Amino acid sequence: MPDLITHVALSHLVRRPFDRRASQGKILPLRPLFYLGTILPDILTRPWYILFPFTHDWTLCLHTPLGMLLFTGILTLFFESSLRKRAFINLSTGVGCHFLLDALQKQVTGNNFWFFPFSWKSVEYGIAYAEDYLDLIPLWIGMIGIMEAGIYIWKKKKAHT
């Protein structure tokens, strides 16, 4: 799995340009749910089967699109009814980014069961091993810094015109 920093950083790079509407106050409060969704499959499964290896087969279903859709659906029931739809969209979009990024890695054992429970075939494109992403963390942070600086400068220019 790409590390959690990589999941959040790349998802931020994808999402941030679409956050222009956030300044109108509708999307901004739910943005953290998007970022939570990008790491949710790993934080729900990894600690359990690292600490308790015998739970691997039981927790594996949570690291699937169907398992996460069910979990995020249940999780959004704890939100106020007027926020549930947007909360679900933010969480599930973040989860989708997580699975797309996971699919880019080379796997020793299959771990991307997109079609569970209908198939145990792992979906992977084999671009890099999980540990290869760690070397790129400074790049992700630098790209985020450049993008955020550009957005800041653009907003300042727009405010002065």
Question: Dihedral angle at the C-alpha atoms of 102, 107, 110, 112, nearest 10 degrees?
Answer: 10
Q: What is the pLDDT of residues 87-121, one digit of tens each?
A: 999 899 999 988 888 887 766 566 777 767 777 77
Q: Report the C-alpha gap between 62 and 57 in whole angstroms.
A: 10
Q: What is the pLDDT of residues 15-56, one digit of tens each?
A: 776 666 555 555 556 788 988 999 999 898 888 888 988 887
Judge contact between 64 and 116, C-beta under 8 A: yes
Q: Considering the entire predicted model, what is its pTM?
A: 0.72
